[in-house]
Amino acid sequence: GQQVMQIPQYQHVQEGEDFTTYCNSSTTLSNIQWYKQRPGGHPVFLIQLVKSGEVKKQKRLTFQFGEAKKNSSLHITATQTTDVGTYFCAARGSNYKLTFGKGTLLTVNP
């Protein structure tokens, strides 16, 4: 079945530093989604990317979809303590099942 590999598994940063998490697939994706889960919380939908090379911004968050539609990234500029949580990418494969990456746990030192 389809797999989306996400790296790194963990990332610890000082407040104000930037953060990036990457999602890679061996197959071409029709689209990709990003979710955030705060500690003790549930996943919250952030965004969906559909077009090759697409770049979308939400305040300090920048989402990119690769030209080949096999990879994606989420970049946070100048992290804040409110950014703490696990960031997941998700993609729906040809079997129509929504597959989530293992996530990147971001911790921020104030």
Partner 1 sequence: KAGVTQTPRYLIKTRGQQVTLSCSPISGHRSVSWYQQTPGQGLQFLFEYFSETQRNKGNFPGRFSGRQFSNSRSEMNVSTLELGDSALYLCASSRAEGSNEQYFGPGTRLTVT
| Helix spans in the chain (H) | none
Query: Does the protein bind partner 1 through residue 106 (CB under 8 A)?
Result: no
Cβ-based nearer residue to partner 1, 44 or 78: 44
Q: Please identify, using beta-carbon distances, which residue of 56 and 92 lies nearer to partner 1.
A: 92
Piece in contact with partner 1 (CB under 8 A), picked from 13-21, 59-67, 75-83, 94-102: 94-102
For residue 32, give the nearest of 21, 42, 40, 17 by alpha carbon: 21
The contacts of residue 10 (CB under 8 Å, 6+ apart) are: 104, 105, 107
Per the structure block, which two tokens stand in for 81? 């303590």
> Which residues would be at the binding site for partner 1 (CB under 8 A)?
1, 31, 33, 41-45, 48, 88, 90, 92, 95-103
